[in-house]
Amino acid sequence: MNTLLVSAVVSADTFTLDKYTVTPGVLGFLVIFAVGVALYLLMRSMTGKLKTVRGERTIEEPVDVAAAPALIEEDGAKKDG
């Protein structure tokens, strides 16, 4: 274990980093790609759910309180007969 640390320190002194040495590699690409696919699927799901919510919303007309008993009688008459 100690020789591994010593060899790492020695090789670190001779190894220089530049912008062409350090790259994200295949793993970095796969992680970013997976995040992109998950984002696409979540947005697609959210869009579908928002379409159903917008479709269910109805605007109700205000009910005249004075005419409420007449409306109830009309509804009852339609159901009975």
Q: Which residue has the tokens 């980093």?
A: 17
Kindly state whether residue 59 falls inside one of the protein's structural domains.
yes
- The tokens describing 78, both together, are 């339609």
Chain segment 24-50, per-residue pLDDT in tens: 889 999 999 999 999 999 999 999 888
Rounded to two decimals, what is the model's pTM?
0.44
Instruction: Specify the pLDDT at position 50.
Output: 87
On whether residue 19 sits in a domain, the answer given is: no
Q: How far is CA 42 from CA 35, 37, 51, 54, 55, in A?
A: 10, 9, 14, 18, 20
Looking at the domain assignment, is residue 13 inside a domain? no
Task: Identify the domain containing residue 28 by its residue range.
Answer: 24-80
65 vs 68: CA distance, rounded Å: 5
Task: Please report, for residues 39, 42, 46, 65, 77, the alpha-carbon distance to residue 50 in angstroms, rounded to integers and kept in the order given.
Answer: 16, 12, 6, 34, 38
As for how many domains the chain has, the answer is 1
Whether residue 37 lies inside any domain: the answer is yes
User: Does 73 fall in a domain?
Assistant: yes
